Amino acid sequence: MPGLTVIGQPVAFHMAVNVTDLDRAVAFYRVLFGTPPVKCHADYAKFEPADPPVVFTLMPGAARPGGVVSHLGLRLASEAAVRAVQRRLEAAGVRTREQNGTRGCYAVQTKVWVEDPDGNPWEIYIVTGDLTGADVTGGCMGGSAACGGGAGGVVVYRGPFRELADGSGRVFPRGEPVPVPADLWESLRQGPAADQFVFATPPGAGH
């Protein structure tokens, strides 16, 4: 009896997210990835785009305020590729937000921000250059005083949740002023959740 040929699956990043409305989520990700799901059931859907290679699954579940995910993204090879995704999203009626030549995350980037139906932020971007710590002015969803965040400002989270937590564990209770490093202040101001905050004090102004 001849041996069976085992076909190895290509290595790909995998991520699964809970969604509050599976049909809406499938419709959004069909546009974002530019391909239909390879599996789609009443309680499960899976996308496997080839470029970039990712196994991305959707499962119905309750929203979790202040979850552990800061944001998601697709790093592409060219600005033309970024604009192609942007046009595809906008043609489907999805609002996008551009950041061109922004300095943050220790790099110069051109990116487009978009939110899925559950409010998860996605950045579709390219990196055009690297920066040293002294050159960074913000633009990344994050920041840490332990990494030299520097003198910062004050932000007030407006809601809709009772509180919000970022990827480093910093908590923003709704309606309460929270001092943050300069890089995080600028990151929040430029990020997709900017309309959820009041920026009470600009970096360097003191508080």
Token reading at 63: 């929203």
CA distances from 168 to 19, 164, 202, 207 (A): 23, 12, 21, 23
Angle subtended by helix axes 79-91 and 22-33, to nearest 10: 140
pLDDT values of the chain reduced to their tens digit, one per residue, 207 residues: 555 554 555 567 878 888 889 999 999 999 999 999 999 988 889 999 988 888 899 988 766 555 556 678 888 888 999 999 999 999 999 999 888 887 766 678 888 988 899 888 888 888 888 765 445 444 444 444 334 444 567 888 887 777 777 656 678 888 888 888 877 787 787 777 788 888 875 544 443
Question: How far is 16 from 59, CA to CA, in rounded Å?
Answer: 7
CB 125 within 8 A of CB 158: no
CATH 3.40.5.100 in the chain: give the residue spans: 145-201
- pLDDT value, residue 159: 78
CA distances from 68 to 11, 165, 171 (A): 24, 8, 12
- pLDDT value, residue 94: 92
Q: Which fold has domain 13-60+70-135?
A: 2,3-Dihydroxybiphenyl 1,2-Dioxygenase; domain 1 (3.10.180)
Give CA torsion, residues 187, 193, 197, 199, to 10 deg: 30
CATH 3.10.180.10 in the chain: give the residue spans: 13-60+70-135
Question: How far is 68 from 43, CA to CA, in rounded Å?
Answer: 23
- pLDDT value, residue 35: 93
**105 in helix, strand or coil?**
coil
- pLDDT value, residue 4: 56
Token reading at 57: 């699954």
How far does the chain reach from its first CA to its final CA, in angstroms? Answer: 78
pTM for this one?
0.58
CB 157 within 8 A of CB 106: no
Q: Which fold has domain 145-201?
A: Ribosomal Protein L9; domain 1 (3.40.5)
Question: How far is 105 from 110, CA to CA, in rounded Å?
Answer: 12
- pLDDT value, residue 149: 44
